[in-house]
Chains A and B, each alone.
Chain A
Amino acid sequence: MIASVKGLNFSTVFDAAADAMLLTEHTGHIISANPIAQRLLGYTEAELKGLAIEMLISPRYRKQYRYYQKLFLSKPVKRPMSAGNELVALNREGKELLLDISLTPMEVRQKLYTLIIFNVANRRLDTEEALRASEERLRLAKQAAGLGIFDYDFKHNIVYWDKQMRKFWGRYSEKTVSYEEFVAAIHPDDREARQAAIEKAMDPASNGEFKLQYRVINPVNGAERWISARGRVYFEAGNPHRLIGVTRDITEQRNIQKKLQLQRDETENILKQQVAARTASAIAHELNQPLAAISAYSEVVLHALNTNSFSAGNLRRALQGCVEQAQRAGRSLHELLAFLQKGELVTEHSNLAEVIQEALNVVYDDGYGGFHPVLHLQENLPAVQCNRTQVRKVLVNLLRNAVEAMRTVDSPILSITTQVQTVNEKEMAVVIVQDNGPGLDQIAVKRIFEPFFTTKPSGIGMGLVISRALIEANGGQLWVDFDAKPGAKFLFTLPFVT
């Protein structure tokens, strides 16, 4: 016992201890601080005496301190240093010190005192500081890049999301959201594609990569934003566990792309128009020359008859000229048509579903995206006999027309259907391309297959004429369903392989 050693009392031990010590009242005010404690904290004993411990705690930890203090006072038992008690104190210079502490309650004459022994654990604080700095950097970078972060927990069907994500979704409060609510804000037309992408990423055979662009509709103001999402599915024991990723708002980017595409289309159309104008001009010249001659010869004959002043030689010459020039015009036309239908048609056995996919790829590559094709392809459809390139060309033309017609539609839907139909007792493959655009008016319906007729402000009106000619050359027919509502519905047939 200390008291049995002469000259050795509490005060001597307190002052001589190698560890920093503070003695406090139950109110948390300091009664005494030993020299090590004074040195560590940088205060004199006089300054420390009567000071509330709380004042030594870093302000951002004071709330936490008060909670622990209350807890301790309600049940004052010894807390050894290894128990992980720690405090972040401020020394006189304002530097933060992470302290490992032990608490020893002592009851003397029914009064509670606490002996606090503490050591500085600065190395650990530096690590925490570094972690905090790194987190801060991440936060700033995330903010600068406009990135949102999500974590979709498959098992609990819950999505954890950060502030930026909540902003994209137009919901500012909850830090988690049920998956159903999360999906509810996604554009209905994009949900299917998104679900497919998630399922693909959840396949344990895949690399778990998730990458997609979709639209989100703000529930408050109805504004539509394009979101680019990238992430990865994490597996646990071979089962998909969660999908973690980032999102970015790419609406502006998409708008610019769309604008550029429109400009490109316009230029291309002007070019096409020029080509058409030149072709038409060449054809006109070919026919106008004989017409001019026929007209002049005829007027010569007419004038001679009217004035009774004809020489048989000149009349013969004029009429002979008429005949020759009319034949010349006919020959020019035949040559022109022969030129347009140059070469023998080479056909092959073709899988229609493949040709449709190729055509869709061409349309996408040309930048006519922004729609979701709904395919209703008949299973096990026999192969058709056709020139693949020509049929693909026709499909591309019909698809482009449809996409252009749907430019004003909020949710463009383009459906492509294949089926078997009996035409004149012969089984034929039918391809149906239907859009949900404004459809064709009465004039358009009557004239849609006429050369140079167009409903597009910058079209040349040759696409459908050529398409129909190509399908007919392949032994099929191309027509429009007048009664289709809404939108326009084009159908064409092709013969099966015999």
Chain B
Amino acid sequence: MIMYEPTVFIVDDDAAVRDSLTLMIEQAGIRVQSFENAKAFLSAYQPNFFGCVIIDVQMPGMDGLQLQDELSWRKILLPIIFLTGHGDIPMSVKAIKNGAIDFLTKPVIREKLLICVRAAFAEAKKRISDFTQNQEIATCLTKLTRREREVMLLAVQGRSNKEIGSSLGISFRTVEIHKSKIMQKTGASNLLDLARIARESELGE
């Protein structure tokens, strides 16, 4: 997967705030792209967007928290830094619980903002790598046949070959053959490893 240069995406309805923050972040050698509202950002969004997004909480139309929900629904993994006029504690708690990196009060201090941005970039990288790993596992699992997936599901639940055989109506011997094929295709070294793969791929759910 190609890693693009990390970018800060600013979503704020106030032109002066956008402009001054852009200048501030660019001065630190970081790329910036800004948007005047949530809709503009969502329509410009590309899957290769990488970095973090700074969102003003109070915006006309879709506000900051609604945009957070929307990003989460669309499985957009960009870490979020919120900006607010005044520190509303219940609101910030909710935002942080929903995965925001930080909640900054305007006017923001340069130093604090840059620390937050760097932390958000680190988080973004971690999310991408986690995601890539999951993608790989998911790809492995697509190679399995329907029967092999059924066998795997029961095997990771700790059922014996005999139990699997009787519940699927196949012989003990056939189960053994399916299992060895599964190990081969997923690259799992043992049953415990297989269970981990199953969990990460959310097959168990």
Contact = CB atoms under 8 A, between A and B. Distances in A.
Contact of B19 (A281, A291, A321): A321
A135 interface: no
Given A285-B85, A288-B85, A292-B17, A318 B108 contact: no
Interface in B74-112: 85-86, 106-110
Given A289-B14, A318-B20, A296 B27 contact: no
Interface string B1-31: 0000000000000101101110110010000
A303 B110 contact: yes
Contacts of B109: 299
Given A284-B86, A291-B107, A321-B16, A303 B27 contact: yes
Contact of B106 (A292, A300, A317, A328): A292
Contact of A292 (B23, B27, B107, B110): B107
B64 to A, nearest CB: 14
A205 to B, nearest CB: 67
Interface in A4-42: none
A325 B85 contact: no
Contacts of A289: 14, 16-17, 85, 106
A281 B107 CA distance: 16
B58 interface: yes
A438 to B, nearest CB: 35
Contacts of B27: 300, 303-304, 314
B14 to A, nearest CB: 5
Nearest to A310: B27
A20 B69 CA distance: 111
Question: Size class of B's contact patch?
Answer: 10 to 19
B17 to A, nearest CB: 5
A303 B28 CA distance: 10
B111 to A, nearest CB: 9
A285 B58 contact: yes
A232 B192 CA distance: 102
A288 B110 contact: no
Interface string A252-295: 00000000000000000000000000000100110011111111
A291 B14 CA distance: 12
B14 A296 contact: no
B167 to A, nearest CB: 63
Contacts of A299: 24, 109-110
A290 to B, nearest CB: 7
Given A296-B24, A300-B24, A314-B23, A288 B106 contact: yes
Contacts of B107: 288, 291-296
A296 B108 contact: yes
Interface residues of A, number: 24
A284 B107 CA distance: 12
A300 B19 CA distance: 11
A299 B114 CA distance: 12
A324 interface: yes
A150 interface: no
A226 interface: no
Contacts of A321: 16, 19-20, 23
Contacts of A317: 19, 23
B20 A281 contact: no
Contacts of A297: 20, 23
B16 A290 contact: yes
Contacts of A328: 16
A292 B107 CA distance: 4
Interface in A320-359: 321, 324-325, 328
Contacts of B58: 285
A312 to B, nearest CB: 13
A367 B87 CA distance: 39
Contact of B16 (A284, A285, A304, A324): A324
A296 B86 contact: no
28 contacts: A284-B86, A288-B86, A288-B107, A289-B16, A291-B106, A291-B107, A292-B14, A292-B17, A292-B20, A292-B106, A293-B19, A293-B107, A295-B108, A297-B20, A297-B23, A299-B24, A299-B110, A300-B20, A300-B23, A300-B24, A300-B27, A300-B110, A303-B24, A304-B27, A314-B23, A321-B20, A324-B16, A325-B16
Given A288-B85, A292-B17, 20 more contacts: A284-B85, A285-B58, A285-B85, A288-B106, A288-B107, A289-B16, A289-B85, A291-B107, A293-B14, A293-B107, A294-B107, A295-B20, A295-B107, A296-B17, A299-B24, A300-B110, A303-B110, A314-B23, A314-B27, A321-B20
Interface of A: 281, 284-285, 288-297, 299-300, 303-304, 314, 317-318, 321, 324-325, 328
